Structure 1
């Protein structure tokens, strides 16, 4: 198989060679003795056949619900195409506005603590919408577990915001290093972008290890075991058992 972008003269040479071999009587007699019917197709003909097979394969996979390329309800429409990109940008702008307001406020020491749960809530909403693009051919499909976690995560973060607001004076008195909060938010944003390029597994391992380090934990063997354990759990449960299509990453796809 020739690599994409091979010189035209190389492709032409192989095309002529295979055409001669295909038309050679001795070779054809040899193949026919084994019950093999060989027909050589040019690159253009073969590409056309593959594209037709791809269309038919996609059509029947959609029929049985294995893939979902068409949005079937409002939430699925929000989770596809330009609408999803708009929502992601909107949430980022929203968080930047909140960050600006907090920095301008005289109460920024305790308001900064609200920023992290707000980020998790916004992130959960985006992922909740994305889960509607997962296959939906069963009552308990691959989208169930992510949605369950998200529906637990949002109320917990709302409770955390209420707790921060109700303990304003105590938090102002014992305000810690806000650099950790902003650094963790920056790490989350970097994690989301890195998934697209280097995939879920590598990005998640680095995110967990660095995140635990930022929280002050220094037992490196335990940190490695936690990060690797989560990846193993994700692979076995999400990828193998529930068939969740975890992203491989553009750079990894190019290399392999």
Structure 2
């Protein structure tokens, strides 16, 4: 049975991603900052008959928490097949280039960039034990520098600065990580789940959580001939699904 760890998975897209992976026969570790909320999420999935799931307490902003989570998971399994870096924040809004306090930038980068790097580095040894390891970094269409430079782009005027910068940096990390692992069986990709109606955006997005999660699951379950080092976004590129960086 393949195993997956999803950060920020007790609600929304992370939770639905867990549900869909469970339906495909994965054993899923639900990463969450609040273990009680994680257990409640697990109970909900188990009530649906999806029993191969358990919570893992992990705060991606806290090095000690990440280390503890790695130790806990290492006691449960010797192999991790999928890591989905889902946890993310947008920071205090609005955040502009000239008026946003530097602490907001630091907070957003701590979660969206440094948290992803720290978690990936902590669990890569377990991933290396998998014959087909997969890493999926949840990004945003707003992380595309190419599109943000195009006045004709439909989201051109939407520029929450700290968030945009953090997702662009995350995309860059995805590129270099995929390159570093290019001669292995790893597949490392960035996935934009789309403008989805969630708590994250006060349910303003037109997309649905199941559709968003399906995009993540697709990248998490790529076969041996699947792509790596790509930025997938049906929102940015509905025809090809591959967004410009």
More helix by share: 1
TM-score normalized by structure 2?
0.24
Structure number with the bigger relative contact order (C-alpha 8 A, sep ≥ 6) is: 2
Larger radius of gyration: 1
Q: TM-score, normalised by structure 1?
A: 0.23
1 or 2, which has the higher strand percentage?
A: 2
